[in-house]
Amino acid sequence: MLTVRQIYQQDYPAGKKVFYKYTSEQYYNIRMERKENGWIFILNEERFDAPFVKKMEEEIFEPYKEGSEVYVGEVDGEECAVIVIQQMEWNNTLLIHDLYVDERFKKMGIGRTLIEAAKKRAAELGVRSITLETQTANYPAVQFYLKNGFELIGLNTISYTNEDVKNHEVRIEMGFILHSAY
């Protein structure tokens, strides 16, 4: 049975690392074209020649995430997922810093449950939207967020390196609107 509980930095004096891995068969290729009166950005689904594998290690309680709320998902007492969310008062949004689900627990609805918990928390806080970052190479994540009501809201072609477009790892922003009155 899945349970979700909040955890706190003071309970992890040595920090809390999460190891994350994803494999993607597809990516979104970005084509940019400058026109006389503006720009055109096109994102097309493409297939990698070989599966793209990304491994990362992340410290959940990084200083730049100060003020965040951290929730873990557990299945029968075993930690299987984590989500880090932060209310951004300056623009009245909720930022999802991190969402990780252990490989062994994917496709079990755990990520969806954590997204629903974030949506519920966003409603409690009265924010207007939820935002997050992912990459064009992380096709499975993009598909997951789309299925959960998020839409593409922006991109940054040089966020990680000056070769993000060539590397097919362009930072994309996705958002979920809670209130349209703002």
Tens digit of each residue's pLDDT (9 = 90 or more) over 142-180: 999 999 999 999 999 999 999 999 999 999 999 999 965
- With the C-alpha atoms ordered 11, 17, 19, 20, is the resulting torsion angle positive or negative? positive
d(CA 35, CA 138): 29
Give Cα separations from 125 to 59, 94, 122, 141 (angstroms): 25, 9, 5, 25
Where does the pLDDT of residue 34 fall: very low under 50, low under 70, confident under 90, or very high at 90 and above?
very high
Task: Determine contact, residues 182/92, Cβ cutoff 8 Å.
Answer: yes
| Residues 6+ away with beta carbon under 8 Å from 82 | 18, 60, 70, 71, 72, 73, 98, 99, 100
Bridge partners of residue 6, in order along the sequence: 71
- Mean pLDDT value of segment 10-38: 95
The pLDDT score that the predictor gives to residue 60 is 95
Neighbouring C-beta atoms of residue 68, cutoff 10 Å = 19
pLDDT at 117 exceeding the cut of 70: yes
Determine contact, residues 7/70, Cβ cutoff 8 Å. Answer: yes
In sequence order, what E strands does 60-170 have? 69-75, 78-88, 93-101, 129-135, 151-156
Mean pLDDT of 53-64: 94
Q: What mean pLDDT value characterizes the chain?
A: 95
Measured distance CA(21)–CA(125) in Å, rounded: 31
Given a cut of 60, is residue 182 above it in pLDDT? no
State phi, psi for 73 to the nearest 5 degrees.
-100, 140
**Are the C-beta atoms of 67 and 83 separated by less than 8 Å?**
no
Q: Which domains does the chain have, with CATH numbers?
A: 2-177 (3.40.630.30)
State residue 180's pLDDT score.
Answer: 59
C-alpha pair distances (Å), 151 with each of 16, 68, 145 = 30, 23, 8
pTM exceeds 0.85, yes or no: yes
